[in-house]
A and B are shown apart, each in its own frame.
Chain A
Amino acid sequence: MLHSILQDIRFGARMLVRKPGVTIVAVLALALGIGANTTIFSAVNAILFRPLPVRNQEGLVVIRKTEPDGTDPLPFSHPEYLDYRDGSVAFSGIAAWTGASTSLMADGEPEVVSAEITSGNYFSTLGISPAIGRFFGPTEDQVPGRDPVTVISYPLWQHRFGGDPGIVGRRIELNGAPFTVIGVAAREFTGLTVGEAPALWVPMMMYHQIAPGQNDIIGARNVSGLMLFGRLKDGISPERAIAEMNGIASGIGKKHPDNARGEGIALAPLDGLSSLSPGERENVRSFVAIMMAVAGLVLMIACINVAGMLLARSAARRHEMAIRLAIGAGRRRLVRQLLTETTLLFLLGGGVAMLMAVWSTDLLRSFHPPPEVPIAIDPAIDLRVLGFTFAISLITGLLFGLTPALRGSKTDLADALKEAPSGDSHRSRLRGIFVTAQVALSLILLIGAGLFLRTLQHAASIDPGFDPDHVELAVFDLSLHGYDEARGAALYGTLLERLRATPGVNSAALASIVPLGFSNAMMMLTVEGSTPRVGEDGFLTNFNIVTPGHFATMRMPLVKGRDFSAEDRQGHPQVAIVNETFARTYWPGGNPIGRRISMQGKEGPFMEVVGVAKDGKYKSLGEASLPYLYLPFGQNYTPSMTLQVRTSGDEAAALTAIRGQVHKLDPNIPLLNPMPLSRYIASALLPQRIAAWVAGTFGVLGLLLTAVGIYGMVSYAVIQRTREIGIRMALGAGRNAVMGMMMRQGFVPVALGVALGLIGAFASAPLLASFVFGISTFDPLTYLLVALALMLVALVACYIPARRASNVDPIAALKYE
């Protein structure tokens, strides 16, 4: 048995070498299909499957507090964390962490980096070891502000400190406070959330140094913000742990009834998506599923394509199969022989795909998203990716090699041995079916790409409600530089004053939120005269804190009332500006000016609406109009603001001016992420751009493979029908008649494929709904144009062999067998 299998493999390898043309084309087609999947899977692997580099990940669970109705998870306060940690016997350790940004100063260069603020047992609970130095110990988890130590990430060590072997013990500044580096995390450890890579970790007790001005997260029970995870003791089931944690929750509720809301506790396996909200996790999974589906379609097209080639080759080997059968080979043996050859071919394709994937993942890794896009994914090729590639090569080889093998091993012995023409119209029909399938899949792929492209095209024509051209942005967070409210407000005021006087600057303002970015702020609002829904305290509303001049700088018209002014400051009547939708929603038909709203509940204090701004797009270009609220910076100081400067055109000069002014005011304040507003809002379409790029690239790939498939089918038909063509020509058929006949043969399965593809695209369109906006997922123009384009390509693919058929020499054709 083993000997005969080895014989099959040897013979299969020889057959592949003997027909290098077919082998190369098939291997390339497979490499493209499998390579596309490997590349996408390497990213999916990094997002969904790659285990965290921790000891025994199965024992780690994320601990979530849930609302009484079991919905959105809530963060924990530090005292609560201590209650759970100290009250639990089911866990060998429970750790807490939260994210923050911090200003890192080393060697005189300030830089804002992301950090994780963690409990002292964070690393020990995870069960990981440092690359060098040590992690936090129990003593560093006890006294607030006493132990300014930090563990830095491997990339930060390499890039910022040049891999300095003496980094342990070195002093750096975080938010102006000195910290000592005590260790470097292992290269593979990049935090607990996929796509986010903290540059450093600091102990929870140093929270106020890292997040100055924030609420007392360490001591206050009503200030939440921590995420928890724990390691279950051996033999403890999650159910038992949940019961225990719920018991602790109940005890906390009784002990602190003021803060109790009847929350429950849920456990989930700790993975890279654990810290995301359920909605975010769902979005990630949907996106990943769409990308895998796109790559899967390309693979299917490639496999069907190769199956068509194998079918043609099995026809050419009819005589050989007949001889094998005649000398006593069983059909099962022949099927095995042919399947072995096919599997070898697919594995070869998989091997080349792997090489292509190494290149393409390197390309992906070299792509650094713009600073405004906080994503860091490492699509490295690991054993799982290798296994995936091997598995799909093997499975598709067996699956798509079976039909050609079955057809190839079934032959009329007498005819085949005489090498008489087979007249095997079944093979032609099969190839026609293959083409239909390829066209249908290709059309689905291209329509998806078309919808994404049309979304992008439409996005360009959507009015965001402001003019993004010639506006420069720069982010500041004065809390990272030791500024209190008075000093911060003064610095911002002076900066704006100086910038407005700078040549080339038309206007300047500050805002806490830049529309269409990755940040957003919401608050619960009381609207005088409006009653919230039962069980709710108010109306959850998106808001922005802005300085006077914001609307003018953004060219966001005020349709009623006035802009904020310098008079709108502390000690003066509190004011607000709402957008049109806000006014329409809460005061339909009425005049919003002079109406009152409150952030503090129905008892006030109240703010008076002094203006109505035109509606705009705030979170995404595809959103429906949202109620939106603007608050004056003068009455709502926040240290983290984004500078908005409208220039007369010369952006570089404006940026230099901004840098100069900031440096004059405080040389320690870095200008974070300076960029034009137009570039910033472009990131709002990042998912659509990625989807359009992937679907477009793979769509073109699929189309190319389909065109090759159509060409192959018609070419095969021409060979099969050569004698018939000769007869027809002898009977008076002209070139056009022959060409028409072959074109029809090629185009009928194409037309059928287009029809099936349209049905498939209709059926799958709802899956794209969350990524397509501005147009319907059934957009007739996209469907029509894509179908026409595909048919045009199909026509060309049919035309070339059909034209060759029309040039057949009838005498040669009549002799053809």
Chain B
Amino acid sequence: MLEMDDSIFSTATDMATTNIPLIRLEGITKVFFTDEVETHALSGIHLDINPGEYLSIAGPSGCGKSTLLSILGLLDTATGGSYLLNGEPVSTLNMGDRSRIRNKEIGFIFQAFNLIGDLTVRENVELPLTYRNMPAAERKSRVEDSLERVGMAHRMKHYPAQLSGGQQQRVAVARALAGNPSILLADEPTGNLDSNNGESVMELLRDLHRGGATVCMVTHDPRFARHADRTIHIFDGRVVEESSVAA
């Protein structure tokens, strides 16, 4: 059983020096059962994501890339195979432990931003920290720091509806960063943005990666996939191609 102590997870730098992948998927399968129909969304996915790596998952709509991201983000469980996060198996964790890992180790960036309309920018970014019982002063400092990093500190008191799509996605990135996670999981982060704002968000992710963050992004747009160090292509639930960009 995975211990929930903060210290159990090595930092990305530690992991890099020990050459243990941050995430290791072995033979991951996912089958959806609806009535009497079985849909194989993922079939035998093997994947390592190393600390500090920028990985993109590409593929056509319905190929299983979002399902894979959900499993990576512990939002969903695999039907088969094993999933090691920081060298520890996470497939068998209970709901509470999965929530705690999501909160501490994973930062989500969604296509639809998924900011909470009734909360201000500041409260949205602070939200994951409130689930850790973090002292208020530390939360404040982290929120301000995150918003500074994405250039949204001046909009702290605004509500999401008062922001443009690009600004909302920046706030969503700030929220993902605030918890200082081991990995950022981005699901089509530019899908709801125009090309300028899309580029801007991709630039932001690249900056974060340059700063040492591990990023895993799902996209169907080859232009954005090229921002990553490595791209895996999924088709019909299988990894059909893997390509790397020379450093």
Chain A interfacial positions (CB closer than 8 Å to B): 423, 425, 723-724, 726-735, 737, 810-811, 814
Q: Which residues of chain A are within 8 angstroms of B70 by Cβ–Cβ distance? A: 811
Interface pairs A-B: 7 shortest CB-CB: A732-B103, A734-B99, A731-B128, A727-B114, A423-B117, A732-B102, A732-B131
Kindly identify which residue among A724, A726, A732 contacts B128, using a CB–CB cutoff of 8 Å: A732
Name the residue of chain B whose CB is nearest to the CB of A730. B108
Name the residue of chain B whose CB is nearest to the CB of A731. B128
Instruction: Give B116 Cβ to nearest chain A Cβ, in Å.
Output: 5
Instruction: Give A778 Cβ to nearest chain B Cβ, in Å.
Output: 40
Name the residue of chain A whose CB is nearest to the CB of B114. A727
Name the residue of chain A whose CB is nearest to the CB of B118. A425
Instruction: Give A336 Cβ to nearest chain B Cβ, in Å.
Output: 31
Interface flag for B96 (CB, 8 Å)? yes
Q: Which residues of chain A are within 8 angstroms of B118 by Cβ–Cβ distance? A: 423, 425
Instruction: Give A245 Cβ to nearest chain B Cβ, in Å.
Output: 74
Kindly identify which residue among B76, B104, B115, B116 contacts A732, using a CB–CB cutoff of 8 Å: B104
A-B contact pairs, 9 of them (CB 8 A): A425-B117, A724-B116, A727-B116, A728-B127, A731-B103, A731-B127, A732-B99, A732-B100, A734-B95
- Beyond A727-B114, A731-B128, 7 additional contacts (C-beta under 8 Å) are A423-B117, A727-B115, A729-B99, A729-B102, A731-B102, A732-B99, A811-B70
Q: Which of A726, A730, A733, A814 has the most CB of B within 10 A?
A: A730
Q: Which residues of chain A are within 8 angstroms of B95 by Cβ–Cβ distance? A: 734-735
Name the residue of chain B whose CB is nearest to the CB of A810. B75
Q: Which residues of chain B are within 8 angstroms of A732 by Cβ–Cβ distance? A: 99-100, 102-104, 128, 131-132, 179
Interface flag for B83 (CB, 8 Å)? no
| Residue interface bits B115-154, CB-to-A below 8 A is 1, else 0 | 1111000000001100110000000000000000000000
Interface flag for B166 (CB, 8 Å)? no
Known: A730-B75, A731-B108, A732-B128. Is A723-B114 also a contact (CB below 8 A)? yes
Instruction: Give A809 Cβ to nearest chain B Cβ, in Å.
Output: 8
Alpha-carbon distance A207/B127, docked complex (angstroms): 90
Interface flag for B175 (CB, 8 Å)? yes
Q: Tell me whether B75 and A811 are in contact (CB under 8 A).
A: yes
Alpha-carbon distance A737/B75, docked complex (angstroms): 16
Q: Tell me whether B76 and A734 are in contact (CB under 8 A).
A: no
Helix, strand, loop or mixed for chain A's interface? helix
Q: Which residues of chain A are within 8 angstroms of B96 by Cβ–Cβ distance? A: 734-735
Q: Tell me whether A733 and B99 are in contact (CB under 8 A).
A: yes
Instruction: Give B141 Cβ to nearest chain A Cβ, in Å.
Output: 19
* Inter-chain residue pair count (beta carbon < 8 A): 59
Q: Which residues of chain B are within 8 angstroms of A729 by Cβ–Cβ distance? A: 75, 99, 102
Q: Which of A423, A732, A811 has the most CB of B within 10 A?
A: A732
Q: Tell me whether A731 and B131 are in contact (CB under 8 A).
A: yes
Q: Tell me whether B100 and A814 are in contact (CB under 8 A).
A: no
Interface flag for B224 (CB, 8 Å)? no
Q: Which residues of chain A are within 8 angstroms of B9 by Cβ–Cβ distance? A: none
Q: Which residues of chain B are within 8 angstroms of A728 by Cβ–Cβ distance? A: 116, 127, 131
Alpha-carbon distance A811/B132, docked complex (angstroms): 22
Alpha-carbon distance A431/B218, docked complex (angstroms): 40
Q: Tell me whether A737 and B131 are in contact (CB under 8 A).
A: yes
Name the residue of chain A whose CB is nearest to the CB of B116. A724
Q: Which residues of chain A are within 8 angstroms of B103 by Cβ–Cβ distance? A: 731-733
Alpha-carbon distance A734/B75, docked complex (angstroms): 12
Alpha-carbon distance A729/B102, docked complex (angstroms): 8
Alpha-carbon distance A78/B18, docked complex (angstroms): 120
Q: Which residues of chain B are within 8 angstroms of A730 by Cβ–Cβ distance? A: 73, 75, 102, 108, 110, 114
Q: Which residues of chain A are within 8 angstroms of B175 by Cβ–Cβ distance? A: 731
Q: Which residues of chain B are within 8 angstroms of A731 by Cβ–Cβ distance? A: 102-103, 108, 127-128, 131, 175
| Residue interface bits B168-197, CB-to-A below 8 A is 1, else 0 | 000000010001000000000000000000
Q: Tell me whether A733 and B131 are in contact (CB under 8 A).
A: yes
Q: Which residues of chain B are within 8 angstroms of A814 by Cβ–Cβ distance? A: 75, 110, 114
Q: Which residues of chain A are within 8 angstroms of B76 by Cβ–Cβ distance? A: 811
Name the residue of chain B whose CB is nearest to the CB of A736. B96
Q: Which residues of chain B are within 8 angstroms of A727 by Cβ–Cβ distance? A: 110, 114-116
| Residue interface bits B54-78, CB-to-A below 8 A is 1, else 0 | 0000000000000000100101100
Instruction: Give B57 Cβ to nearest chain A Cβ, in Å.
Output: 16
Alpha-carbon distance A423/B70, docked complex (angstroms): 25
Q: Which residues of chain B are within 8 angstroms of A810 by Cβ–Cβ distance? A: 75
Alpha-carbon distance A724/B102, docked complex (angstroms): 16
Instruction: Give B180 Cβ to nearest chain A Cβ, in Å.
Output: 13
Q: Tell me whether A734 and B108 are in contact (CB under 8 A).
A: no
Q: Which residues of chain B are within 8 angstroms of A724 by Cβ–Cβ distance? A: 116
Alpha-carbon distance A723/B160, docked complex (angstroms): 15
Q: Tell me whether A734 and B127 are in contact (CB under 8 A).
A: no
Q: Which residues of chain B are within 8 angstroms of A425 by Cβ–Cβ distance? A: 117-118
Alpha-carbon distance A724/B117, docked complex (angstroms): 9
Instruction: Give B68 Cβ to nearest chain A Cβ, in Å.
Output: 12
Q: Which residues of chain A are within 8 angstroms of B128 by Cβ–Cβ distance? A: 731-732
Q: Which residues of chain B are within 8 angstroms of A734 by Cβ–Cβ distance? A: 95-96, 99-100, 131
Name the residue of chain B whose CB is nearest to the CB of A729. B99
Instruction: Give A1 Cβ to nearest chain B Cβ, in Å.
Output: 41
Q: Which residues of chain A are within 8 angstroms of B179 by Cβ–Cβ distance? A: 732
Q: Which residues of chain B are within 8 angstroms of A423 by Cβ–Cβ distance? A: 117-118
Alpha-carbon distance A726/B108, docked complex (angstroms): 12
Instruction: Give B98 Cβ to nearest chain A Cβ, in Å.
Output: 9
| Residue interface bits B27-59, CB-to-A below 8 A is 1, else 0 | 000000000000000000000000000000000
Alpha-carbon distance A814/B104, docked complex (angstroms): 20
| Residue interface bits B88-110, CB-to-A below 8 A is 1, else 0 | 00000001100110111000101
Instruction: Give B66 Cβ to nearest chain A Cβ, in Å.
Output: 9
Alpha-carbon distance A737/B132, docked complex (angstroms): 11
Q: Which residues of chain A are within 8 angstroms of B99 by Cβ–Cβ distance? A: 729, 732-735, 737
Name the residue of chain A whose CB is nearest to the CB of B175. A731
Name the residue of chain B whose CB is nearest to the CB of A734. B99
Q: Which residues of chain A are within 8 angstroms of B117 by Cβ–Cβ distance? A: 423, 425
Alpha-carbon distance A425/B115, docked complex (angstroms): 15
Instruction: Give A74 Cβ to nearest chain B Cβ, in Å.
Output: 72
Name the residue of chain A whose CB is nearest to the CB of B117. A423
Alpha-carbon distance A814/B185, docked complex (angstroms): 15
Alpha-carbon distance A737/B99, docked complex (angstroms): 10
Name the residue of chain A whose CB is nearest to the CB of B161. A423
Alpha-carbon distance A724/B116, docked complex (angstroms): 6
Alpha-carbon distance A737/B103, docked complex (angstroms): 12
Q: Which residues of chain A are within 8 angstroms of B73 by Cβ–Cβ distance? A: 730
Alpha-carbon distance A814/B67, docked complex (angstroms): 13
Instruction: Give B232 Cβ to nearest chain A Cβ, in Å.
Output: 21
Q: Which residues of chain B are within 8 angstroms of A735 by Cβ–Cβ distance? A: 95-96, 99
Name the residue of chain A whose CB is nearest to the CB of B97. A734
**A-facing residues in B178-224 (Cβ within 8 Å):** 179
Alpha-carbon distance A339/B79, docked complex (angstroms): 51
Instruction: Give B119 Cβ to nearest chain A Cβ, in Å.
Output: 9
Q: Which residues of chain B are within 8 angstroms of A726 by Cβ–Cβ distance? A: 114
Instruction: Give A304 Cβ to nearest chain B Cβ, in Å.
Output: 24
Q: Which residues of chain A are within 8 angstroms of B102 by Cβ–Cβ distance? A: 729-732
Name the residue of chain A whose CB is nearest to the CB of B96. A734
Alpha-carbon distance A723/B113, docked complex (angstroms): 12
Q: Which residues of chain A are within 8 angstroms of B104 by Cβ–Cβ distance? A: 732
Name the residue of chain B whose CB is nearest to the CB of A421. B117
Instruction: Give B124 Cβ to nearest chain A Cβ, in Å.
Output: 9
Name the residue of chain A whose CB is nearest to the CB of B132. A732
Instruction: Give A380 Cβ to nearest chain B Cβ, in Å.
Output: 55
Q: Which residues of chain A are within 8 angstroms of B131 by Cβ–Cβ distance? A: 728, 731-734, 737
Alpha-carbon distance A737/B129, docked complex (angstroms): 13
Alpha-carbon distance A723/B103, docked complex (angstroms): 17
Instruction: Give A236 Cβ to nearest chain B Cβ, in Å.
Output: 72
Q: Which residues of chain B are within 8 angstroms of A811 by Cβ–Cβ distance? A: 70, 75-76
Instruction: Give A802 Cβ to nearest chain B Cβ, in Å.
Output: 16
Name the residue of chain A whose CB is nearest to the CB of B185. A730
Name the residue of chain B whose CB is nearest to the CB of A727. B114
Alpha-carbon distance A726/B132, docked complex (angstroms): 18
Instruction: Give A660 Cβ to nearest chain B Cβ, in Å.
Output: 80
Q: Which residues of chain B are within 8 angstroms of A723 by Cβ–Cβ distance? A: 114
Alpha-carbon distance A399/B88, docked complex (angstroms): 62
